[in-house]
């Protein structure tokens, strides 16, 4: 099937044919091969690329690089899946893949760019937890039990404890903690931890203040400084 395009050598519209050729480019210091497309003028034989072809060639080179250097090896995929103690089928379904997709990836097929992104996200236990909550109805009871008792999944349980704290606070209290965290440039959990420590310290002060009645020689200032000493 022929197509007409402007040939800048012939300086007129000519019939062109599509050419696909293996090219090698260097990206970030590494060589990658990809299939570049261009047109060849059927009259003068010169080859040229349209702006769209330039874009798609660039994208093909990037994709080739990502597949070669930024993708998962089958071993890395097995390790990722095993950290959640999930079967190939269950893991794939949780990530929104088909039933057989993980199997083919673990046998060496290269994940698509979208699936690479999902696999990357699944490496973060909190992201995986979110995917799990969204898709757990797609997998069976046995798989759910296995996954929920896995090391990777259990890492996210720390969040659940913070969630409990979150839900036990009023919106004002949350706002106040968030502001303190933002002003101090630290995480919310850091402020919560400080509050807990602060409360314990106050209890300790009260305890020592009570003890002072029987130890009159110890002044409140000494008590305070001894507690500061503890906190250092």
Binding flag, residue 76, Zn ion (CB under 5 A): no
Nearer to Zn ion, 14 or 129 (CB): 14
How would you class 1 by CB atoms within 10 Å of its CB: exposed for 0-12, middle for 13-18, buried for 19 or more?
exposed
Rank residues 40 and 129 by Cβ distance to Zn ion and give the closer one: 40
- When asked if residue 134 is in the footprint of Zn ion (CB under 5 A), the reply is no
Which CB, 49 or 155, lies closer to Zn ion? 49
Contact call for residue 7 and Zn ion (CB under 5 A): yes
**Binding-residue pattern over the window 35 to 64 for Zn ion, x denoting contact by CB under 5 A:** ------x-xx--------------------
Assess 195 for contact with Zn ion (CB under 5 A): no
Selected binder of Zn ion within 2, 3, 9, 154 (CB under 5 A): 9
Minimum separation from the CB atom of position 4 to Zn ion (A): 11
Nearer residue to Zn ion within complex by CB, 5 or 146: 5
Q: Which positions touch Zn ion (CB under 5 A)?
A: 7, 9-10, 14, 41, 43-44
């Amino acid at each position: 099937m022929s197509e007409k395009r402007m040939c800048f050598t012939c300086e007129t519209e000519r019939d062109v044919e599509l050419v696909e050729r293996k090219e090698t480019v260097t990206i970030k210091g590494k060589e990658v091969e990809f299939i570049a497309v261009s047109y060849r003028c059927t009259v003068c034989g010169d080859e040229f690329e349209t702006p769209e072809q330039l874009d798609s060639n660039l994208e093909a080179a990037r994709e080739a690089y990502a597949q070669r250097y930024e993708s998962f090896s089958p071993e890395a995929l097995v390790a990722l899946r095993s950290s959640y103690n999930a079967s190939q089928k269950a893991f794939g379904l949780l990530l929104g893949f088909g039933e057989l997709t993980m199997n083919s990836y673990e046998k060496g097929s290269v994940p698509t760019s979208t699936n690479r992104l999902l696999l990357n996200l699944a490496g973060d236990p909190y992201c995986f937890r979110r995917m799990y909550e969204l898709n757990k109805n797609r997998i069976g009871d046995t798989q759910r039990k296995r996954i929920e008792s896995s090391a990777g999944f259990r890492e996210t349980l720390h969040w659940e404890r913070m969630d409990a704290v979150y839900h036990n606070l009023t919106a004002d209290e949350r706002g106040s903690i968030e502001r303190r965290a933002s002003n101090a440039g630290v995480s919310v959990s850091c402020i919560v931890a400080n509050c807990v420590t602060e409360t314990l310290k106050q209890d300790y002060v009260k305890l020592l203040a009570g003890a002072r009645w029987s130890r009159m020689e110890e002044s409140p200032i000494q008590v305070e400084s001894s507690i500061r000493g503890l906190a250092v």
